Structure 1
């Protein structure tokens, strides 16, 4: 939505040009006269038919074309009207009506260059034509020629000093030039000349809004609406102000009022879509964006907003189509950049990289696109290039938190930094976080038996590894012990969200709230323990934790290293992934849960195919599998796998990944495998598939080979549930020990290799005993259900006891501090 309005006059009645002049030449033939009479009686279609006849009889009379054009405009035939106006000007270049109406028609295209040319011609014919001078000022401004617009407005003010519109327009120009105080002065002068000028009053409000004076802006909109309650623009600007304040429900209501008054305003529909999207109301947002674009196909930002809403709503394929439609109309770096994001999500990384490069060409200083390009490079396995790209962005903008988080993810998961180097980088991230001077939240004095209030901050409470791990746990937490609040950082929801939502006392949408506002909201909810489920991964809100939103703050589940954030008190871990003596790897204190920090929610019975017999018994050879993201299968991993395959010449390999849906990735992966001695005739590569098809693929695999140092998590648990064990290599960090911790929690320590030589030996040994592998599958789900990795009830009790003890220790420490 534009900042201000310019009092557009898209259609001009000829009578408004020269009220004293008849609409037609009195010497014209009968059809023209009959057309005038019909026009005066409001019968536009019948009038247009008479004017058509007049043009047919006397095609060289300019006034016939002008009159026909006017009626055609009224009946919605703007293109035909434009043709007749052009012809009228060619027949009579000095026709004031033809020039002026053609200027208006061109403005609606919009063709401001042509519009300015013809309105200047109209003024040359009649210099005292005040309405045309108003239009010239507006057109120059809308054309973007502020120097000429200012000159035209100042000239008009000398010719027509009592006209409020020129002061109004000069105020608009001042706003565009970044002079809000000067703008308000001109608006106030316009109001002296015309006190009831509601548009000017609203523009004062908008000027105050961009200065951050939100309540003063609201007062201006209220003043405008008191004069004209039907003024849709004031309702819309009210909505924009409340949106800027994070008061989304009030904003939505204001936009609804505006749309009731002006239901076909594409700008308001677009703004309404953004407010709905920020509240997580994606289907409604999509509907509003579609309506906006249908009304104005070249709406700035319309295709970007619609594409983002579709993508977040799980309709990524449709989002790609929308972005491409927008690019066909008008290419922009936003469209190329967002299309790249969606393509990367769908596994089309090479095409995504092409669009990122095009976005950078159009907007070289857009550092967000550089970050997305770095991420895409990482997805192709170019980890060192990705890390270098993130560091380059941070060199240009050190306070940019997103690339710093991404850099930390890569450093933590790829082995490109020692634990000391990683922690130093995480502390540098922490030093950038804003910490407004506020008193820390007060600990509640809980009565005996009163539940702790625990908040979870996450963008992944859906079908995502975090959601898949937490679902069963949430279902078994006792409401009498823990009162749960979800703080979602994204609008996307799905079937898993719907299943867990009823277990939360509140479901709060943080999307659209700034860090200060989000922290205030959490404090107002009097949360006792706030748990971060994202770490440095996507959609994190670590800056909210830096504002000490709750008395106790923890990190758990969604990240595998220290956040570095000094206000996060604990990391929930276990002795397997963070053994005694490794506390120095974290800025947080370590709280070890019994047996495991992770507990997986198995797929529902109707969602998981039954465990299949061991495929090797029928095939006569072992098939190894890997279902992780391709970037985790590094050259170092492949080298170790190559040794395994050298020991087992009949073995086969199945790799299924999002990235292996690309022909280029398949070609590159086969070449990399060949270099380590694994020929292509021993390999099957598959791309992304629905989850049920993915789970079924485990029926073709005998053993899963883990990656390192970024070991499996969700895939390891899913493989176990499908009857396929994972051979994993132990490491020296939380993430590189994750595979080991999971297999031990599942009661399978024999599947953990201590070093690379052990990995090769174990692979050969375990693969050689097909009867044992086949026997292990028998009744495997019943056995796994009783292990720490899958027993969600047991884990829920352990979790409840852990957070209660953390709270008690904090209370004791707080009491000791007060007494001293």
Structure 2
């Protein structure tokens, strides 16, 4: 013990070499000298020799005399080396010996958080807070944990407490902005990011979060500026290439577009985190690369959950099949406009329907309609993914339908936690989610041909005609006005496309401009999304020798009025790589023929699916030349175009596409087939539903 005492004197005086020599001598004399092991560990740790540090701490931990401090330090070293589970054991032993103390509880929370065990982390942080509420690190970790649990309203005060204790904390300004964004307070969020970037102009996370908020606020040009800044600071930042490309497409900025697409897809194929799956939808990406992107993203965002379980108990065969629909968009949103009527048509004698609302948007009429159509409905946005999955299991949900996928607002970890024995990817995300916890994807033979089943992680369920739902009661306004009211010529050909600007790509725009040049007096009627896109498209038209006055801009209108103005269009021209989906249905319901090009991926074949289901397959083309040729032929053949419109007026009330009741029966048949396999103990497999 005298050697250890002398060593401690040297250690405190900064004479580390002398201290280490004495401690090693003491250990040689008595390998059970725990204090010598602990001090040698501290010396190695100060030199960042983590392996040696841990070795000495493990020696100390094996002795009955091991101190709580040594066990705490061992946990810190294990955590630093990425072994959080072992660290939890060390912190637990330390707390058992010493009783509750702030540092031990705080680091225990950090370790649980590293494993995604956010409820356990929260418990540890709450206990630590009772001992020392004035730690900015603790307040920051409480905020982060509550945000991970989707309790953003609870997270926000902890961000603000951390900042009150230390206003210079860049991460907390950024986290505060993220919480405000989730709470629908985007303007305040931007101010929070401004504060973060004033402190640290090089902080990439703040720039990325600011871009996300600007995107949600429909300010894509400013979002693109943020991504440009990140590209200068950290060009390999995860998913930056895809986000930047998507933002550029939202403002129709096509500088080096083809090259950027090619580079981004190559990086995805190489296994890089280059683009989220959703950002690749509007580009010419085939199903193989889309699956690759989805797998990368799913592995990154949805880590395995070993505690995930299936339904708590087998279903009583006498009760109805329980189907749960999960979405952040149960509101005035295209998805809800499409599916609300299908919910109303469900057979309540055989199916019990549940709605799990994941959004924080203010109530509106469409949301109220959804809530009335489903037998059980509740907003669970403020609950954690694990809590929502547990709630679904407790309610005995047999089939869980994810209506978001990887689209905005999606929460795939609900399904990673097994909300139901059978889980389905449907409608909100036109592609594979690339994960093993989604059992099925609802599709049809057009959007997913049989020879492409291998490009989907889910098993494919083919619905007859089209997988796409519709509302056959959708009201069309009774006062469409005149063409002049819309800024359109009275007698000339009106080509229309009301797709979002990010779907308009240089290759399709080139065709549209050639059509305008070939058809005298014709105009192109586009949806005005943002000023930057409008200016860019005008400039592109001028560059191609087209008078910009021949592009007419349609402002946003309530749905019934928007449908009514379709009668002023002659032909709807679809985009190539991400077709019109809801907008195609709107055009057909409004009586306008739609011309599409069936492409290489799910989102590029939806137009073909819809046209087949409405009975107009002759408007599906297979090449750019055929698309352009048929558009020109129709534009110069008024009688043929009139005949198409007349046929469509009949088909819209007789064809399968707009028969919500028939679609509901087919959807229910798909659910029955999925459940039958599950109830027989069979794994998911591809299913084809008869017409």
Tell me if the contact between 1:456 and 1:486 (Cα under 8 Å) persists in the aligned partners. yes
Residue 375 of structure 1: how far off its partner (Å): 3.9
Q: 505, 515, 522: which is aligned to 1:634?
A: 505
Residue 167 of structure 1: how far off its partner (Å): 6.8
- Output the CA distance in 2 between the equivalents of 1:491 and 1:155: 63
Give 1:708's aligned residue. 576
Give 2:535's aligned residue. 667
Give 2:594's aligned residue. 727
Tell me if the contact between 2:249 and 2:501 (Cα under 8 Å) persists in the aligned partners. no
- Output the CA distance in 2 between the equivalents of 1:200 and 1:604: 69
Tell me if the contact between 1:423 and 1:562 (Cα under 8 Å) persists in the aligned partners. no
Tell me if the contact between 1:206 and 1:237 (Cα under 8 Å) persists in the aligned partners. yes
Residue 802 of structure 1: how far off its partner (Å): 1.7
- Output the CA distance in 2 between the equivalents of 1:262 and 1:220: 18
Residue 669 of structure 1: how far off its partner (Å): 1.0
Q: How does 1:162-311 map to 2 (within 5 A)?
A: 171=42, 174=45, 177=48, 179=50, 182=53, 185=56, 202-210=72-80, 211-214=82-85, 217=88, 220-221=91-92, 223-224=94-95, 227=98, 229=100, 231-311=101-181
Whether 1:613 and 2:480 are equivalent positions in the alignment is yes
Cα 1:491–1:220 shift into 2, 3 Å: farther
Residue 712 of structure 1: how far off its partner (Å): 0.6
Tell me if the contact between 1:577 and 1:741 (Cα under 8 Å) persists in the aligned partners. yes
Tell me if the contact between 1:643 and 1:760 (Cα under 8 Å) persists in the aligned partners. no
Residue 326 of structure 1: how far off its partner (Å): 0.7
Q: Which has the higher contact order (CA 8 A, sep 6+)?
A: 2
| Deviation digits for residues 286-339 of structure 1 (CA, Å, limit 9, x no counterpart) | 333233223322214112212222333333343333222211111212222322
Structure 2 gap segments, 5+ residues each: 1-7, 27-34, 686-691
Say which is worse superposed, 440-449 or 339-348, in terms of deviation: 440-449
Q: How does 1:204-603 map to 2 (within 5 A)?
A: 204-210=74-80, 211-214=82-85, 217=88, 220-221=91-92, 223-224=94-95, 227=98, 229=100, 231-331=101-201, 332-379=203-250, 380-381=253-254, 383-391=257-265, 393-394=267-268, 398-400=270-272, 403=275, 405=277, 409-410=280-281, 413-415=282-284, 417=286, 422-423=287-288, 426=291, 446-452=315-321, 454=323, 465-474=334-343, 476-477=345-346, 481-482=350-351, 495=363, 529=399, 531=401, 533=403, 554-561=424-431, 570-574=440-444, 577=447, 582-587=449-454, 590-600=460-470
Cα 1:326–1:471 shift into 2, 3 Å: farther
- Output the CA distance in 2 between the equivalents of 1:604 and 1:190: 71
Q: Secondary structure at the match of 2:206?
A: helix
Q: Secondary structure at the match of 1:301?
A: helix
| Deviation digits for residues 726-754 of structure 1 (CA, Å, limit 9, x no counterpart) | 52325255434422433565677797678
- Output the CA distance in 2 between the equivalents of 1:172 and 1:528: 58
Give 2:29's aligned residue. none
Residue 235 of structure 1: how far off its partner (Å): 3.9
Tell me if the contact between 1:562 and 1:585 (Cα under 8 Å) persists in the aligned partners. no
- Output the CA distance in 2 between the equivalents of 1:192 and 1:448: 58
Q: How many residues align?
A: 639
- Output the CA distance in 1 between the equivalents of 2:377 and 2:73: 42
TM-score when scaled to structure 2? 0.71
Structure 1 gap segments, 5+ residues each: 1-129, 138-150
Cα 1:200–1:747 shift into 2, 3 Å: same
Tell me if the contact between 1:371 and 1:393 (Cα under 8 Å) persists in the aligned partners. no
- Output the CA distance in 1 between the equivalents of 2:115 and 2:45: 25
- Output the CA distance in 1 between the equivalents of 2:404 and 2:431: 11
Residue 465 of structure 1: how far off its partner (Å): 4.4
| Deviation digits for residues 749-798 of structure 1 (CA, Å, limit 9, x no counterpart) | 79767843332333455699999989999xx9xx9798754554443332
Cα 1:288–1:430 shift into 2, 3 Å: closer
Tell me if the contact between 1:224 and 1:234 (Cα under 8 Å) persists in the aligned partners. yes
Tell me if the contact between 1:280 and 1:509 (Cα under 8 Å) persists in the aligned partners. yes
Tell me if the contact between 1:572 and 1:597 (Cα under 8 Å) persists in the aligned partners. yes
Tell me if the contact between 2:308 and 2:416 (Cα under 8 Å) persists in the aligned partners. no
Tell me if the contact between 1:333 and 1:359 (Cα under 8 Å) persists in the aligned partners. yes
Q: How does 1:114-193 map to 2 (within 5 A)?
A: 171=42, 174=45, 177=48, 179=50, 182=53, 185=56
Residue 480 of structure 1: how far off its partner (Å): 6.1
Cα 1:765–1:749 shift into 2, 3 Å: farther
| Deviation digits for residues 359-414 of structure 1 (CA, Å, limit 9, x no counterpart) | 3443455344344334445543454233333245447xx4446737468x44xx54
Tell me if the contact between 1:378 and 1:386 (Cα under 8 Å) persists in the aligned partners. no
- Output the CA distance in 1 between the equivalents of 2:328 and 2:51: 38
- Output the CA distance in 1 between the equivalents of 2:604 and 2:236: 37
Give 1:798's aligned residue. 666
Aligned Cα RMSD in Å?
Answer: 5.7
Q: 608, 630, 633: which is aligned to 1:758?
A: 630
Residue 597 of structure 1: how far off its partner (Å): 1.2
Tell me if the contact between 1:246 and 1:512 (Cα under 8 Å) persists in the aligned partners. no
Say which is worse superposed, 276-285 or 543-552, in terms of deviation: 543-552
Give 2:610's aligned residue. 742
Tell me if the contact between 2:238 and 2:274 (Cα under 8 Å) persists in the aligned partners. no
Cα 1:493–1:399 shift into 2, 3 Å: farther
